[in-house]
C-alpha cells in the first residue's frame, strides 16, 4: 500500500506540471497582428491608446507574464499585480503588491486602493485586462465604508473562513462590504473596454465567486448576505462596525451592481483554465499509471464527512465493476470543513484524516490537496493516507486530531504531508482515490 501512496503523489505532481498558464494564454489569446481573440470576441489592440492590466490571485504572475508574451513586442500593458509571494522577477510596467492570503494584509488594502485609482483614469480609449485567479478575495481589498479598518476586514475573514459556509455564501457577505468585489471593480471604469480572463477555483456556473466577482454582475443580494450572517450565527462574532450594519439589516448595506448596470455594457469574461483542464490532466496521469480512471465532481461544496463517505463508496463500486484492474477516482472542488479547534491544517488534510479510520486495513490510498500548494493555515498542500495509516499512527488518536483541527500535525508526524510550496496556480482542490 505504500506504493499506492507514491502513485497518488505522482499523479498529483504530473497534473500540476501539465498546467502551464503562460502557454495556455498564448494558445487561447492567439494574436494575429493587432487582433487577439478572447473567447468568442475579437479585440483590435490598435483601437486603444492604452492597455491596462489588473492582476489579482495566486496565479497572477503566470497570467501577467503570459499576457505580456501575447502582447510583445508591439504592445505593452501596465498595471497592478496583487499576489501572495514574491515573483521570480519583476514585470516592466507593473507595480507588485505582496498581499495577504487567506487573510488580507496592508498590501491587500494598498493593492485595492491602487487598482481603484488606476481605473478612474481609464476612458473609452483604454483596454483593461482583469486577470483573476483563486485567492483574489483576500489579495485585493478596499472597504466600501472608509471608516472600516484593516483589522475589521481581517476579523471578518477569519470569521467567514472558519464558519463552515460554502464559498458563494461567504462571498455574499464580502461583496456587500467591499468597493472591489461584486462587480464594483468593473464599475470603477465604466467607459473602458474590459476583458476578464479567469483561472477558476470556483464551481462551474458560479464564476462570479472567483475572487468574489470583482468584474462580473453580482447575483447575490443584501438579503443573501443577511441570511448567511443569521444562518451561521455570525452576528456576535463580527467586528462592531459590521455587527452594526447587519443588526440594522437593510438600512445600511448598498446593493452591488447587477447585470443591467451600464458598467458591464463593454465588459467580457472568458475562462482560461477550469475544472475540465484539471480533470483532463489527472485522468491522463492515472491511466498512464495503469488505472481505470473516472472523474467526478458531484461532491463539490459538500460537507467533508458526506463527501468522503460518498467518494469511498463510489471507489468501491468502481472496483466491483473492474475486479481485475486497479481503479482511480478523481474528484475536484472544495469541501466545507468548519474549524473546531486551534490546530494546524485545512480541509484537504482534514479530508484525508477523516478517511484514515474508514480505509483501515483496505487496499486503498487517497490524496487530497490544493492545487495552489496551500491547505488552510498549514505549510502543506494536503496529505496522503492509506489502509496502513491507522496502524502506523502509534500513540496518535486520529479522531482527536480531527476534532482539534490539527490534521497537518498528525500527517507530519507520519511523513505523509503533501508539500509543494506555492504553485502559482489555483484550479480548486484535487482528490485522488486509488484501490488495488
Q: The sheet that has 417-418: what strands, in order across it?
A: 292-296, 327-332, 429-435, 364-370, 382-386, 417-418
- Per-residue pLDDT of 48-77, as tens digits, reads 999 999 999 999 999 999 999 999 999 999
**Contact of 417 with 383, CB cutoff 8 Å:** yes
For residue 202, is pLDDT > 70?
A: no
φ, ψ of residue 84 to 5 degrees: the values are -85, -15
Q: What is the reported pTM?
A: 0.82
Which comes out higher in pLDDT, residue 210 or 2?
Answer: 210
Mean pLDDT of 141-167: 93
- Per-residue pLDDT of 231-287, as tens digits, reads 999 999 999 999 988 887 555 789 999 999 999 999 999 888 877 888 999 999 999
Q: What is the mean pLDDT of the chain?
A: 93
Buried b (16+ CB within 10 A) or exposed e, 302-337: bebbebbbebbebbeebbeeeeeebbbbbbbbbbbb
Q: How many CB atoms lie within 10 A of CB 35?
A: 13
Distance CA 229, CA 233 (A): 6
- Per-residue pLDDT of 70-114, as tens digits, reads 999 999 999 999 999 899 899 999 999 999 988 899 999 999 999
DSSP assignments along 250-277, one per residue? GGS-PPPP-TT-GGGTTEEEEEEE-HHH
* pLDDT for residue 204: 61
Distance CA 339, CA 405 (A): 6
For residue 8, is pLDDT > 90?
A: yes
Mean pLDDT of 133-142: 92
- Per-residue pLDDT of 321-352, as tens digits, reads 999 999 999 999 889 888 889 999 999 999 99
Which structural domains are found in the chain, ordered by start? 33-273 (3.40.50.10180), 276-435 (3.40.1480.10)
Secondary structure (3-state) at 147? coil
Mean pLDDT of 158-181: 91
For residue 425, is pLDDT > 90?
A: no
**Contact of 423 with 380, CB cutoff 8 Å:** no
**Contact of 183 with 257, CB cutoff 8 Å:** yes
Q: Which of 201, 343, 355 is nearest to 277 (CA)?
A: 201
Amino acid at each position: 500500500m505504500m506504493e499506492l501512496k507514491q502513485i497518488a503523489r505522482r499523479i498529483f505532481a504530473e497534473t500540476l506540471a501539465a498546467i502551464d498558464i503562460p502557454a495556455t494564454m498564448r494558445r487561447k489569446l492567439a494574436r494575429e497582428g493587432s487582433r487577439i481573440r478572447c473567447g468568442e470576441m475579437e479585440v483590435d489592440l490598435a483601437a486603444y491608446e492604452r492597455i491596462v492590466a489588473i492582476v489579482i490571485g495566486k496565479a497572477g504572475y503566470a497570467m501577467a507574464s503570459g499576457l505580456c508574451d501575447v502582447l510583445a513586442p508591439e504592445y505593452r500593458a501596465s498595471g497592478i499585480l496583487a499576489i501572495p509571494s514574491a515573483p521570480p522577477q519583476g514585470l516592466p510596467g507593473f507595480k507588485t503588491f505582496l498581499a495577504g492570503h487567506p487573510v488580507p494584509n496592508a498590501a491587500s488594502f494598498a493593492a485595492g486602493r491602487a487598482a481603484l485609482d488606476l481605473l478612474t483614469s481609464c476612458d473609452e480609449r483604454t483596454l483593461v485586462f482583469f486577470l483573476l485567479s483563486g485567492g483574489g478575495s483576500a489579495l485585493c481589498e478596499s472597504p466600501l465604508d472608509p471608516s472600516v479598518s484593516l483589522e475589521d476586514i481581517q476579523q471578518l475573514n477569519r470569521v467567514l473562513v472558519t464558519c463552515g459556509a460554502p464559498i458563494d455564501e461567504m462571498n455574499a457577505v464580502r461583496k456587500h462590504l467591499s468597493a472591489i468585489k461584486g462587480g464594483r471593480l468593473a464599475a470603477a471604469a465604466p467607459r473602458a473596454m474590459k476583458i476578464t480572463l479567469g483561472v477558476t477555483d470556483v464551481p462551474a456556473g458560479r464564476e462570479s465567486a472567483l475572487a468574489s466577482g470583482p468584474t462580473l454582475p453580482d447575483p447575490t443580494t443584501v438579503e443573501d448576505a443577511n441570511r448567511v450572517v443569521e444562518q451561521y450565527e455570525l452576528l456576535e462574532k463580527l467586528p462592531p462596525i459590521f455587527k452594526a450594519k447587519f443588526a440594522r439589516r437593510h438600512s445600511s448595506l448598498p446593493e452591488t451592481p447587477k447585470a443591467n448596470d451600464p458598467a458591464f455594457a463593454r465588459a467580457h469574461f472568458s475562462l482560461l483554465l477550469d475544472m475540465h483542464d484539471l480533470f483532463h490532466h489527472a485522468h491522463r496521469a492515472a491511466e498512464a499509471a495503469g488505472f481505470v480512471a473516472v472523474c467526478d465532481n458531484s461532491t463539490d461544496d459538500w460537507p467533508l464527512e458526506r463527501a468522503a463517505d460518498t467518494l469511498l463508496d463510489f471507489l468501491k463500486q468502481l472496483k466491483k465493476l473492474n475486479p481485475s484492474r486497479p481503479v482511480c477516482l478523481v474528484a475536484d472542488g472544495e469541501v466545507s470543513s468548519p474549524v473546531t479547534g486551534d490546530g494546524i491544517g485545512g480541509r484537504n488534510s482534514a479530508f484525508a484524516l477523516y478517511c484514515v479510520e474508514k480505509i483501515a486495513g483496505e487496499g486503498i490510498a487517497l490524496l487530497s490537496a490544493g492545487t495552489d500548494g496551500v491547505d488552510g493555515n498549514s505549510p502543506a498542500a494536503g496529505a496522503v493516507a492509506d489502509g496502513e495509516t491507522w496502524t502506523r499512527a502509534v500513540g496518535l488518536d486520529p479522531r482527536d486530531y480531527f476534532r482539534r483541527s490539527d490534521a497537518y500535525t498528525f500527517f507530519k508526524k507520519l511523513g505523509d504531508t503533501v508539500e509543494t510550496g506555492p504553485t502559482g496556480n489555483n484550479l480548486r482542490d484535487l482528490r485522488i482515490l486509488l484501490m488495488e
